Amino acid sequence: MNASSDRPRPQTYGRGALPQEATRVVEVRMDDGLRFNPATVTARRGEIVTFRVINTGKVMHEFTMGGQDAQDLHEAQMAEMTMTGQSGDPTMSGMDMTGMDHTKMPSTPEHKKYMSLLAKRIATLDRTAAANLSVHVPPGQSRDLTWAFTGEKAPVYGCHVPQHWAGGMRGTVVLNPT
Ligand SMILES: [Cu+2]
Would 6 be classed as within a structural domain?
no
pLDDT at position 178: 76
Per-residue pLDDT band for 109 (boundaries 50, 70, 90) equals: confident
Q: 3-state DSSP call for residue 90?
A: helix
- What pTM does this model have? 0.80
The alpha carbon of 97 and the centre of ligand 1 are apart by a number of angstroms equal to 14
Measured CA to CA, the distance from residue 21 to residue 176 in angstroms comes to: 19
Q: What is the pLDDT of residues 9-67, one digit of tens each?
A: 668 999 999 999 999 999 999 999 999 999 999 999 999 999 999 999 999 999 999 99
Cα of 80 to ligand 1 centre, how many Å?
Answer: 17
What is the Cα–Cα distance from 68 to 4, expressed in whole angstroms?
20
CA of 99 to the centre of ligand 1 (A): 16
User: Of 119, 147, 134, 142, which is closest to residue 46 (Cα–Cα)?
Assistant: 147
**Span from the CA of 161 to the centroid of ligand 1 (angstroms):** 5
**Ligand 1 centroid – CA 153 distance (Å):** 24
Confidence label for 108 from pLDDT (cuts 50, 70 and 90) = confident
Tell whether 3 is covered by a domain: no
Residue 2 within any structural domain of the chain = no
Residue 91 is predicted with a pLDDT of 44
Per the domain annotation, does 7 fall within a domain?
A: no
Tell me, yes or no, whether 71 lies in a domain.
yes
Question: Under 8 Å CB-to-CB from 165, ≥6 apart: which residues?
Answer: 71, 75, 158, 159
pLDDT for position 9:
66
| Number of compact structural domains in the chain | 1
Contacts of range 153-157, beta carbons closer than 8 Å, 24 or more positions apart: 153/12, 153/13, 153/67, 154/13, 155/13, 155/14, 155/65, 155/66, 155/67, 155/70, 156/65, 156/66, 156/67, 156/68, 156/71, 157/28, 157/36, 157/41, 157/51, 157/63, 157/64, 157/65, 157/66
**What is the 144 CA–ligand 1 centroid distance (Å)?**
16
- What pLDDT is stored for residue 177 in this prediction? 86
Domain span at residue 63? 12-176
By the CB criterion, residues less than 5 angstroms from ion ligand 1 are 61, 159, 161, 164, 169
Residue 109 is assigned to a structural domain of this protein: yes
**What is the CATH number for 20?**
2.60.40.420
What pLDDT, in 10s, does the model give residues 54-101?
999 999 999 999 999 899 999 998 888 887 766 544 444 444 444 455
Whether 34 maps to a domain, the answer reads yes
